[in-house]
Structure 1
Amino acid sequence: MARPLRLEYAGALYHVTARGDRREDIFFQDEDRTEFLSVLGEVCERFNWVVHAYCQMTNHYHLLLETVDANLWRGMRQLNGVYTQRFNRRHGLVGHLFQGRYKAIVVQKDAYLLELARYVVLNPVRARMVQDPAEWPWSSYRAVIGKASVPDWLDSEWLLSQFGSERQPAIAAYRRFVMAGLDHPSPLGRVRHQVLLGDDAFVARHQHDQGDDRLREVSKAHRRSVALELSAYQERYPDRAEAMARAYGSGAYTMAEIGKHFGVHYMTVSRAVKGFEVRRRQLMEDRDE
């Protein structure tokens, strides 16, 4: 019998959905939605999650998130469990709120993150609840375009960096990109084996025997044995963002480990890495001109 696909690993990107039991509403009022976002923030802090997009509907929600560590199941148990407790307490209810287990799809980041982020925030428009995603206050869209504050756990910078280095033109380009998605079919129609969204190589890699896990651990141990100590990166690169980015680029340390050493939130490390990649790519493009 084939072994199950390996769905949890450090650095994985997921599209996650969870629906109400018997398709009933999971949000009765705005206070419920606010409470859910509060619990989500707590989970992101505890489990080192990075959220790229989210949308709260009426009887379900969508998350597009990246796990710095291999802990999706533990984090989702905390998210749905704690929210259920607080929801039931507020409304004087008991029992299950969600319909069984959440659904998670492993996503190839470079190929599908942008498209899925667009799909997630367009849900209220497709459901004819609003005409413009900016009219729906319960998604990440308004934060990305500067119409609402950005929570610590939401990485809006990576999305905007894909549309340019100047903020306002990037926001305008992002808005055009999102609205153009109304003319495109859902990317979830390309999911393979029910849990994988990516090209042939991505799918094949996730179907390999799980014995590869041992090789991954050996590889990581080797990278750490030859990498600089974190304090050495700190001494060699006076710019803290560059020091953190280069430490992460060594492949020897997780964002959580780097953040702990430098005394910053792991999301600060994530932003430093992405900013460094953007600057380096720009330098390479300038040299080619």
Structure 2
Amino acid sequence: MDILQGLSEGEIRRQLTIRQRIIFEGAVYHITQRAPGTERIFLEENDYLYFLKILKDIAQEFHVKLFSFTLLTNHLHLLLQITQKNLSSAMKNLFERYAMYFNEKYQRKGHVFCGRFRASLCNDDAYFLAISVYIHLNPCRAGLCKDFRSYRWSSIRLFTDITAATFVDYQQILSMIDQDIHRARQKYQQILSDSLLHIESCGISGTLSLKRVAGQIGEVIQKITKRHEEKNLEAMVEKIKSKQRMRKIEERDARKYAIGQLLANGYTPAEIEKMLGISRATFYRTIA
């Protein structure tokens, strides 16, 4: 749970690089691109589908790993990792190919995108998770949907309930939350739901500010993590109580761990002995 702890403690560090980008193999970036002024990037369903087709092709051609995305009417978000030092050429290829398609289809001239894309370097795991949550909350905050799970043009369904062959490596983010995919999805949805409610209750409206939202997400994750840890500890205590004698090493280790966690949560030795159904001698022998 180091990543969740880092978020809950506000240890989120990032580096915005617009004119002079820091590019290196293995780096993870939050990419944003938008239309100029009040223009739109996507006008109909086929536009979204075509962009996703190009995005898949680019991921394969340039060996880019895509972790999550959201396509909105006038801007988009990508969370990706480069395995070669080719971020600029990959994104240039992506946006130029879509711009050519868009201008030809709608018989127009001029810029489809508002200048150069923005790339934010993700230089720690906490920011990596925060940006994924931020990306998936954008459609709700932009008023495009009431339920983030219902927004079609994002990777959200892969994080909540769909297991399918895809070019999006959603499992890497979920595995940072829990190694069990089912539990990870439950926790991720809880983080999204609670974060959205918490952000709204704090009066943060309009376009999401990552800097402001990251702190709100951290508070929510801290609460969710604490609840899950409490549930796991309660289940462990019940299991230990059901064991009259512990002969296996792993069973004794589990009891030692449970006692340590209970002590860390402020329980006294007497309270722990009563909860686990053990004697004072067993208590001290276990923690010795």
Specify if TM > 0.5. yes
AA aligned to 2:134 is Y
Q: Answer whether contact 2:33 2:113 (CA < 8 A) is retained.
A: yes
Q: Secondary structure at the match of 2:37?
A: helix
Match of 1:222 in 2: none
- Greater displacement, 115-124 / 160-169: 160-169
Give the CA deviation at 1:143.
Answer: 1.9
- Cα deviation, 1:109-159, whole Å, max 9, x if unaligned, reads 31201111000010011112212111100001012223374522x111112
Match of 1:169 in 2: 183
Match of 1:188 in 2: 210
Counterparts of 1:17-36 in structure 2, within 5 Å, are 17-36=32-51
Match of 2:85 in 1: 70
Of residues 158, 162, 171, the one that matches 1:143 is 158
Distance in 2 (CA, whole Å) between partners of 1:10 and 1:102 is 19
Give the CA deviation at 1:187.
Answer: 6.6
Q: Secondary structure at the match of 1:23?
A: coil
Distance in 1 (CA, whole Å) between partners of 2:38 and 2:92 is 19
Give the CA deviation at 1:6.
Answer: 5.1
Q: Answer whether contact 2:21 2:119 (CA < 8 A) is retained.
A: no
- Cα deviation, 1:184-236, whole Å, max 9, x if unaligned, reads 47673279xxxxxxxxxxxxxxxxxxxxxxxxxxxxxxxxxxxxxxxxxxxxx
Match of 1:104 in 2: 119
Counterparts of 1:1-289 in structure 2, within 5 Å, are 7-147=22-162, 149-152=164-167, 154-182=168-196, 183-184=198-199, 188-189=210-211
Give the CA deviation at 1:36.
Answer: 0.4
Distance in 2 (CA, whole Å) between partners of 1:148 and 1:187 is 31
Match of 2:8 in 1: none
AA aligned to 2:188 is Y
Q: Share of identical aligned residues, percent?
A: 31
Unmatched tracts of structure 2, length 5 or more: 1-18, 214-252, 258-288
Aligned structure 1 segments of 4 or more residues deviating by more than 4 angstroms = 184-187
Instruction: State the aligned residue count.
Output: 191
Q: Answer whether contact 1:25 1:59 (CA < 8 A) is retained.
A: yes
Distance in 2 (CA, whole Å) between partners of 1:6 and 1:95 is 26
Length-normalised TM-score, structure 1: 0.61
Q: Answer whether contact 2:134 2:210 (CA < 8 A) is retained.
A: no
RMSD: 2.4
Q: Answer whether contact 2:33 2:114 (CA < 8 A) is retained.
A: yes
- Cα deviation, 1:51-98, whole Å, max 9, x if unaligned, reads 111100101101111111111110110010001111222222222211
Q: Secondary structure at the match of 1:21?
A: coil
Distance in 1 (CA, whole Å) between partners of 2:163 and 2:104 is 29
Length-normalised TM-score, structure 2: 0.61
Q: Answer whether contact 2:70 2:154 (CA < 8 A) is retained.
A: yes
Distance in 2 (CA, whole Å) between partners of 1:42 and 1:80 is 12
AA aligned to 2:69 is Y
Distance in 2 (CA, whole Å) between partners of 1:174 and 1:166 is 12
AA aligned to 2:73 is T
Q: Secondary structure at the match of 1:22?
A: coil
Give the CA deviation at 1:46.
Answer: 1.0
Q: Answer whether contact 1:47 1:71 (CA < 8 A) is retained.
A: yes
Q: Answer whether contact 1:13 1:64 (CA < 8 A) is retained.
A: yes
Distance in 1 (CA, whole Å) between partners of 2:188 and 2:32 is 24
Distance in 1 (CA, whole Å) between partners of 2:21 and 2:102 is 32
Unmatched tracts of structure 1, length 5 or more: 192-284
Give the CA deviation at 1:162.
Answer: 2.1
